[in-house]
Amino acid sequence: MIETRLARLSERLIVRNLMELYQHDFSEIDGTDLDEHGQYGYCDLDCFWINPNWSAYVITVEGKWAGFALTNDEVHIQGNTRAIVEFFVVRKYRAKGIGKLAAQAIMDANPAHWEIRVLEQNHDAQRFWARLLNELWLAKHSEAMLNDERWHGPVYSVDTQR
């Protein structure tokens, strides 16, 4: 059974630990190094429990931690209203449809004009989001390429409102 739900306040440490795995994977792309404590860190993580327009989600498979997603209302494309700002599935659960189901659950539960930004160098994420949007919202999504001080890479927009 796959479950995607809002993360409880008591699960902040779990999301923080999953974020470390995410950033470890991401370090191949962005070149980030560990800090003096041997961590990557994510400075604004607590905001996802404080700001009413920001949300943290956890993904579980058969009760085991499988990933997380962070959403907020900070968008770069006019007309979009919500953004998936971080999305991570543990390697064990990748390429099994877990990410697709989790993303669909989040966006279906929160109908909006969604925005997903992907770094230009993150080809795996580009393939994932393009495939997912084509399968689930073929006529309701678009892609733009930003290359300015705000973002460098593709930005996917999708309207999940019925």
For the chain, give the number of residues.
162
At 35 the pLDDT is 85
Phi, psi of 58 (to 5 degrees): -115, 150
Residue corresponding to tokens 């700001």: 51
User: pTM surpassing 0.75?
Assistant: yes
Element (H, E) at 31: none
Phi, psi of 77 (to 5 degrees): -105, 125
Question: Using CB atoms within 10 A of its CB, is residue 139 exposed (0-12), middle (13-18) or buried (19+)?
Answer: exposed
Give the pairing of strands 152-159 and 55-61.
unpaired
At 47 the pLDDT is 94
Question: Using CB atoms within 10 A of its CB, is residue 43 exposed (0-12), middle (13-18) or buried (19+)?
Answer: exposed
Q: In the chain, which stretches have pLDDT less than 70?
A: none
pLDDT digits over 122-162, tens only? 999 999 999 999 999 988 999 999 998 888 899 999 999 87
At 21 the pLDDT is 95
User: Under CATH, which architecture does the 2-159 domain have?
Assistant: 3-Layer(aba) Sandwich (3.40)
